């Protein structure tokens, strides 16, 4: 090899090596937009901490090997839409959408950025995916199957509240999941000869008057049919206790705040599994190749303190079968 050619080759190698090393060091940190539903991190703490830990357990370090960008729409449809569009415009690498509304807005905002939804009662019916086995686009996640266990939830409620003959159903008309959950309650109650009536809630200030009206109308209990009422769990629990109304939910994390019981999916487990799906996507999987996952376990949570305050006795069969009893 001629001396001039050797020097040129050596020079090019020296030039290429630093560029390759720099490129390796400057490896892009994936940015995940998280679209919650409440107004702040504090209101979402029960599940935000689960998400953070789930990423950590998989080896991600927030701010170093991954960037989690949390958005809190405070249940406002226009803010869901604005946040979804903003994340798409800023080209996040993936979107974790907690609720049906968030997933819907994310899907409308992009057909290329992967979207993982966490809590949806009917992802096919809501148009998020083509089928559970084959999502058919850029969206996948987990199905709550809420209606499928409404019958057992109402049966457990009646077992704990033997005089249950009239049940109010508290809904948020803005929640796309509410009609299906309400319908599940109505069918389950009818099968047990329990009459029902819906009461709509759209603002926190309507909660106390609604419970007052339910109590004055002689209802024996209340079923919560909108997952987004979770944000107001403390106010709902306080009103339920103040009016001595047994209240049931599908969300276990609401029970400590004054509800009587819950029966439903393990919500923290749903968030952990959603992070697992996101991990697969970050490692190269396509949402269309990841079937929508379904519940693997259901849990029964009973608040013994509330039962005592309402003069109710927990039957031994429920006490034995409960996953958690709050003293």
Q: How buried is 62 (Cβ within 10 angstroms: 0-12 exposed, 13-18 middle, 19+ buried)?
A: middle
The pLDDT tens digits for 37-59 are: 899 999 899 999 999 999 999 99
pLDDT number for residue 145: 77
pLDDT-derived band of residue 22, with 50, 70 and 90 as boundaries? very low
Residue 35 has pLDDT above 60, yes or no: yes
**Per-residue DSSP letter, 28:** P
- Return the structure tokens found at 102: 């968030």
Do 263 and 300 touch, CB atoms closer than 8 A?
yes
pLDDT-derived band of residue 92, with 50, 70 and 90 as boundaries? very high
Nearest to 321 by CA among 290, 294, 298, 295: 298
Residue 188 CB neighbour total at 10 angstroms: 23
- Region of poorest pLDDT, from 96-100, 228-232, 259-263: 228-232
Specify which residues 169 forms β-bridges with: 198, 223
The pLDDT tens digits for 195-207 are: 999 999 988 899 9
Quote the distance between the C-alpha of residue 107 and its chain's center.
Answer: 17
CA contacts within 13 A on the Cβ side of 19: 6
The pLDDT tens digits for 232-254 are: 899 999 999 999 999 999 999 99
What CA–CA distance (Å, rounded) separates 265 from 261?
A: 13
What CA–CA distance (Å, rounded) separates 189 from 195?
A: 7
Prediction pTM value: 0.81
- Angle at 270 (CA atoms; ends 106, 68), nearest 5 degrees: 50
What CA–CA distance (Å, rounded) separates 28 from 8?
A: 32
Residue 10 CB neighbour total at 10 angstroms: 10
């Amino acid at each position: 090899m001629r001396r001039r050619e050797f020097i040129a080759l050596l020079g090019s190698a020296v030039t290429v090596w630093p560029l390759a090393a720099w490129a390796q060091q400057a490896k892009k940190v994936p940015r995940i937009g998280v679209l919650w539903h409440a107004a702040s991190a504090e209101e979402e703490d029960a599940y935000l901490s689960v998400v953070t830990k789930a990423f950590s357990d998989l080896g991600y370090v927030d701010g170093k090997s991954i960037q989690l960008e949390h958005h809190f729409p405070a249940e406002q449809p226009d803010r869901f839409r604005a946040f979804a569009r903003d994340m798409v415009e800023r080209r996040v690498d993936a979107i974790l959408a907690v609720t049906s509304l968030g997933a819907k807005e994310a899907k409308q905002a992009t057909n290329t950025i992967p979207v993982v939804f966490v809590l949806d009662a009917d992802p096919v019916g809501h148009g998020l995916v083509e089928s559970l086995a084959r999502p058919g686009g850029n969206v996948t996640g987990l199905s709550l199957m809420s209606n499928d266990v409404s019958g057992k939830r109402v049966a457990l409620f009646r077992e704990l509240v033997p005089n249950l003959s009239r049940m109010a159903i508290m809904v948020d008309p803005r929640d796309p999941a509410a009609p299906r959950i309400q319908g599940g309650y109505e069918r389950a109650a009818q099968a047990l000869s329990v009459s029902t009536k819906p009461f709509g809630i759209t603002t926190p200030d309507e909660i106390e008057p609604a419970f007052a009206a339910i109590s004055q109308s002689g209802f024996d209990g209340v079923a919560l049919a909108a997952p987004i009422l979770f944000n107001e769990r403390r106010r709902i629990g306080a009103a339920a206790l103040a009016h001595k109304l047994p209240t049931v939910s599908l969300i276990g994390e609401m029970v400590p705040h004054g509800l009587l019981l819950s029966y439903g999916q393990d919500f923290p487990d749903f968030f952990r599994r959603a992070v697992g799906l996101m991990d697969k996507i970050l490692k190269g999987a396509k949402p269309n190749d990841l079937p929508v996952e379904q519940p693997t376990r259901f849990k029964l949570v009973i608040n013994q303190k509330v039962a005592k305050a309402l003069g109710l006795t927990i039957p031994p069969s429920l006490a034995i079968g409960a996953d958690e009893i709050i003293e």
